[in-house]
């Protein structure tokens, strides 16, 4: 028998309830086979830096990129998540601004700005997503790159009448999305193992987050509105070719040099 601790659905659940266990619930993202290629590619794109991570969170990507010698600045709306970053080696040296990634401006001249692991979909309207591109583009140096990692909506996997599709099944975490194709809204449901109770029964926590999914072509138009041009699109951080069967993409838009 499994007991569930049910958190309220929220578009912004990264608070003091979630932050202390966020890394444990996302352990698969720290796997060297996942994190290594991510940091390798961002390091190459950043060059001498500096770099800006939108929704820096607990520093999963920013801290190892900083260890490579890149000056990384972060933006995040969650003070609780940033507090977790500060507890990690090097976290006290990273400048982080508390604010909304769609509108917060922290500087200029960035060689690289990036958003990883579907975070663009945390902005729940098209207008917010467009504003995120504009705000980011204004902070890039000429020739600078904006990189987004995000899933491709898997609507073809859902026959008529089906409204849910799994996106991760692991030993400690199971996730599935419920989808509204009219509004392009989805809700991600997360079930995460949380140890055993006094009677030896397995416990799990439940959390849910709201998203607005977005198509690659729609992102390209947002980039164009912000003065950015698509340079590369891959299926993942290893630069595997992007095809009609790809379930995610890593896209690179660049700012004109003149």
My answer on whether 224 and 127 are in the same domain is yes
Domain residues for the domain of 189 are: 3-9+155-211
My answer on whether 105 and 168 are in the same domain is no
* Strand segments (E) across the chain: 3-6, 51-54, 72-76, 96-98, 110-115, 140-151, 164-169, 173-180, 185-196, 202-212, 228-234, 248-255
* Inside any domain, residue 97: yes
pLDDT surpassing 50 at residue 258: yes
pLDDT by residue (tens digit) across 53-77?
Answer: 999 999 999 999 999 999 999 999 9
Model confidence at 124, pLDDT cuts 50, 70, 90, reads: very high
The secondary element (H helix, E strand) that includes residue 227 is none
Model confidence at 161, pLDDT cuts 50, 70, 90, reads: confident
| pLDDT value at residue 2 | 33
Quote the number of domains for the chain: 2
* Inside any domain, residue 14: no
My answer on whether 207 and 228 are in the same domain is no
| pLDDT value at residue 165 | 84
Q: Looking at per-residue confidence, does 255 or 10 come out higher?
A: 255
Q: How many CB atoms lie within 10 A of CB 235?
A: 17
The pair phi, psi for residue 246, each rounded to 5°, is -65, 140
Structure tokens at 202: 């397995």
Which of left, alpha, beta for 212 (phi over 0: left; psi -120 to 50: alpha)? beta
The pair phi, psi for residue 121, each rounded to 5°, is -75, -10
pLDDT by residue (tens digit) across 89-111?
Answer: 999 999 999 999 999 999 999 99
Cα separations (Å) of 179 from 158, 163, 211? Answer: 10, 5, 9
Q: Looking at per-residue confidence, does 195 or 96 come out higher?
A: 96
Structure tokens at 11: 């578009």
| pLDDT value at residue 167 | 83
SS3 of residue 71 by DSSP? coil
């Amino acid at each position: 028998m499994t007991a569930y601790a049910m958190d309220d659905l929220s578009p912004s659940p990264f608070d003091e309830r979630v932050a202390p266990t966020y890394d444990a619930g996302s352990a698969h993202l720290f796997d060297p086979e996942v994190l290594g290629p991510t940091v390798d590619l961002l390091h190459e794109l950043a060059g001498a830096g500096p770099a800006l991570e939108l929704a820096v969170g607990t520093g999963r990507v920013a801290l190892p990129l900083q260890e490579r010698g890149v000056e990384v600045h972060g933006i995040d709306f969650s003070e609780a998540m940033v507090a977790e970053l500060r507890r990690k080696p090097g976290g006290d040296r990273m400048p982080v601004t508390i604010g909304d990634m769609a509108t917060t401006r922290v500087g200029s001249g960035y060689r690289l700005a990036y958003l990883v692991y579907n975070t663009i979909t945390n902005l729940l309207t098209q207008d917010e997503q467009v504003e995120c591109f504009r705000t980011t583009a204004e902070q890039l140096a000429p020739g600078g790159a904006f990189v987004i990692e995000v899933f491709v909506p898997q609507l073809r996997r859902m026959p008529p009448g089906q409204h849910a599709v799994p996106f991760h099944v692991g030993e400690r975490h199971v996730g599935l999305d419920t989808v509204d194709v009219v509004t392009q809204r989805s809700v991600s449901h997360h079930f995460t193992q949380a140890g055993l109770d006094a009677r030896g029964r397995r416990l799990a926590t439940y959390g849910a987050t709201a998203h607005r999914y977005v198509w690659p072509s729609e992102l390209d138009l947002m980039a164009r509105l912000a003065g950015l041009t698509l340079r590369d699109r891959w299926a993942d951080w290893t630069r595997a070719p992007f095809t009609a069967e790809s379930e995610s993409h890593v896209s690179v838009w660049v700012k004109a040099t003149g």
